[in-house]
Amino acid sequence: MKKKLITIGLAMLGCLGLAHAQTLITNVTANPLWTDTGIALTNSEWVSVNGGGFWSWPTANDPDGDLVGSSDDTWLDIDPNHGNLIAFIGANPYQGSQWGPSGVFQTNQYLAVGTARQFMSTTNGELWLGINDDAFIGSTSDNSGSNYVAITLGFCKEYNFTNPILSVASVSSNLFSFYISNGIPNSICAVFDSADLRNWTLVDSLQLDANGSSVSAMDLAPPSSTSGLIGGAFVNITDVPYRFYKICDGPIWSQPVGFERITVGPGIQATFGTNVTTAIGTNAFIADQLLASANTLNTVLNPMVDGTTLPNGTQLLKAHPTGFDAYTYSSGSWSPNGNATLLPGEGGVVILPTNSPPVTITFAGLVPEGVLTNYPITNFLNNIVISSMIPQAGGVQSQLGYTPGSGDNVMLWSGFNVSGSGFRDYLYQGAGVGTSLGFQSDWTDGNSVPPSPPSIPGDQLDSVDDVYWAPEPVIKVGQAFEIQNEQTYIEYWVRKFPGCCDP
């Protein structure tokens, strides 16, 4: 039976054969490999499929698949997009018991989709969506994650609309709200939220007004204690350190918007010989990983987006190739100026006065998207202070996409310690060096060697090589850190992050 579609996008101009374009939002998993959408297509029927999210096969990627991997063991030979979102029209995408090296597939019924594709069905049959993986061996135990997908029936010559725009309305300790503009007039849009920019949850649906905005929109979902449309803005009441939101308006998706909060501890009075100084407190290495109207000290820290200000005497240090530039905040202004930037990828070091209580620094704005190239990691100079350009937490290598060279150091600030540097130093030994020996990673503890005690939680003793194998460094949202490049060349941290599913 043909599944009844949820009407999410109305009044799409240029769509033939439909008075109102209808969109189904569904979830497509990497395990099992195929998801039955419940939509029965007919020959010559047009379909638009837009996908977003992250899954792993085990390489983690979005619906476009692995842009550098091989096409081995895939349903479609579309090298190098192993693991991309694909479609099948028919009764059974597995086609019986065809797994194995001798499997023969009706390849004309498989279609590459990726983040977006519009196509015409050439047959009658059920629409299935799946991951381009495990076509022969069927070993799905290493697959995880899913993509949320919007399926729209009807041919669109052109959508005649650009992406809806989300803009921050207000932020407080327990509230975040945003406005919607540039949407399809009078359409019904779906609101999603996420804690990791990988997994998204449908939280509400709104009917936009005649201008395609939320100013006079109608909330179509039952009101809840955690979200709703108030005063023309979508409001989510949540006391969490970070959260992100995006909307689906028919087949068109917005760029995510969100906030992040970092609580910095006060400076610590330290004595070195006869010198008394203010040392760095906890969580002092901060990163603004969201795009505001202008990411300068004056716009994001004078005051902050929630209206709070830093204590007088607060210092912010920004690294450059030969040292640091220092900026001091006092009575509503930065000295020597407030024009220094805090852009995604950059890092700053905040030193609060010693008599200050902990301060929560709040940033808000749009999540960067596209092919993102971070600031150059220069070699054989001072350590570079850097951050992920995307506000995600995870392993710096396995999840955040940094590719270290052998001998590189990643240093995470762990809090001032008079007997040490305050950094946890992770030393990269090279791909497969430690894991081939059965240890947890290819990183070692750069601060300690046996028989001295380990300095990084989770260290594993290697008595043969006299090293501690450390867990991979894990970066938090809003956290900056230091990198020391030991190569003979400049390194670049590049990430592809298509957070939305644009046609």
Per residue in 433-447, pLDDT tens? 999 999 999 999 999
User: 3-state DSSP call for residue 270?
Assistant: strand
Q: Is residue 18 predicted with pLDDT exceeding 90?
A: no
Q: Is residue 292 predicted with pLDDT exceeding 70?
A: yes
Residue 196 has a pLDDT of 92
For residues 92 and 217, the model is more confident at 217
At residue 3 the predicted structure's pLDDT band, cuts being 50, 70 and 90, is: very low
Contact 329, 300 (CB under 8 A): no
Among the ranges given (96-110, 171-185, 251-265, 364-378), the one the predictor scored with the smallest mean pLDDT: 96-110
Contact 475, 493 (CB under 8 A): no
Residue 498 has a pLDDT of 67
Cα separation, 219 vs 204, whole angstroms: 8
The closest alpha carbon to 497, from 287, 250, 261, 198, belongs to 198
For residues 148 and 22, the model is more confident at 148
The closest alpha carbon to 184, from 213, 219, 216, 220, belongs to 213
Q: Cβ–Cβ contacts within 10 Å for residue 42, how many?
A: 10
Residue 162 has a pLDDT of 67
Q: Is residue 198 predicted with pLDDT exceeding 50?
A: yes
At residue 421 the predicted structure's pLDDT band, cuts being 50, 70 and 90, is: low
List the Cα angle 101/106/108 in 5-degree steps.
130
Contact 219, 235 (CB under 8 A): no
The closest alpha carbon to 260, from 230, 297, 231, 292, belongs to 292
Cα separation, 338 vs 286, whole angstroms: 17
Read off the DSSP letter of residue 296. Answer: B
Domains, the chain, in order of start with CATH, read: 15-156 (2.60.120.430), 165-254 (2.60.40)
The residue-averaged pLDDT of 234-256 equals 87
Q: Is residue 282 predicted with pLDDT exceeding 80?
A: yes
138 burial type by CB count under 10 A (0-12 exposed, 13-18 middle, 19+ buried): middle
Q: What is the pLDDT of residues 42-62, one digit of tens each?
A: 887 878 887 777 888 888 788
Q: Is residue 238 predicted with pLDDT exceeding 80?
A: yes
The residue-averaged pLDDT of 143-162 equals 71
Contact 120, 46 (CB under 8 A): yes
The closest alpha carbon to 133, from 63, 189, 41, belongs to 63
Among the ranges given (128-142, 387-401, 413-427), the one the predictor scored with the smallest mean pLDDT: 413-427
Contact 367, 499 (CB under 8 A): yes
Residue 257 has a pLDDT of 97
At residue 237 the predicted structure's pLDDT band, cuts being 50, 70 and 90, is: confident
At residue 470 the predicted structure's pLDDT band, cuts being 50, 70 and 90, is: very high
H or E, element range at 112: strand 110-112
- DSSP letters of 10-50? ---TTEET-SS--EEEEEEESSSSEEEEEEEE-TT-EEEEE
Q: Is residue 422 predicted with pLDDT exceeding 60?
A: yes
- DSSP letters of 181-197? ES--TT-EEEEEEESSS
Q: Cβ–Cβ contacts within 10 Å for residue 353, how many?
A: 16
pLDDT > 70: what percent of the chain? 85
User: 3-state DSSP call for residue 246?
Assistant: strand
At residue 222 the predicted structure's pLDDT band, cuts being 50, 70 and 90, is: low
Q: What is the pLDDT of residues 484-496, one digit of tens each?
A: 998 888 889 998 8
Residue 448 has a pLDDT of 93
- Sorted by sequence, the CB contacts under 8 Å of residue 438 that are 6+ apart come out as none
As a whole number of Å, the CA-based R_g of the chain is 25
For residues 418 and 388, the model is more confident at 388
Residue 417 has a pLDDT of 60
Cα separation, 374 vs 503, whole angstroms: 26
Residue 503 has a pLDDT of 29
Mean pLDDT of the chain: 84
Distances (CA, A) of 2 to 111, 124, 150, 429, 479: 21, 12, 16, 55, 48
Q: Is residue 395 predicted with pLDDT exceeding 90?
A: yes
Sign of CA dihedral 92, 93, 97, 102: positive
The residue-averaged pLDDT of 162-180 equals 92
The residue-averaged pLDDT of 85-92 equals 90
For residues 306 and 107, the model is more confident at 306
Q: Cβ–Cβ contacts within 10 Å for residue 239, how many?
A: 9
Secondary structure (H, E, C), 195-238: CCCCCCEEEEEEECCCCCCCCCCEECCCCCCCEEEECCEEEECC
pTM above 0.85, yes or no: no
Q: How many residues does the chain have?
A: 503
Contact 452, 358 (CB under 8 A): no
Among the ranges given (293-307, 340-354, 381-395), the one the predictor scored with the smallest mean pLDDT: 381-395
Cα separation, 449 vs 357, whole angstroms: 36
Q: Is residue 266 predicted with pLDDT exceeding 50?
A: yes
Q: Is residue 69 predicted with pLDDT exceeding 80?
A: no
At residue 290 the predicted structure's pLDDT band, cuts being 50, 70 and 90, is: very high
Q: Can you point out the beta strands (E) in 221-373?
A: 227-230, 233-236, 242-249, 252-253, 257-264, 268-272, 275-279, 285-286, 314-320, 323-330, 333-335, 348-351, 359-366, 370-373
Cα separation, 93 vs 241, whole angstroms: 42
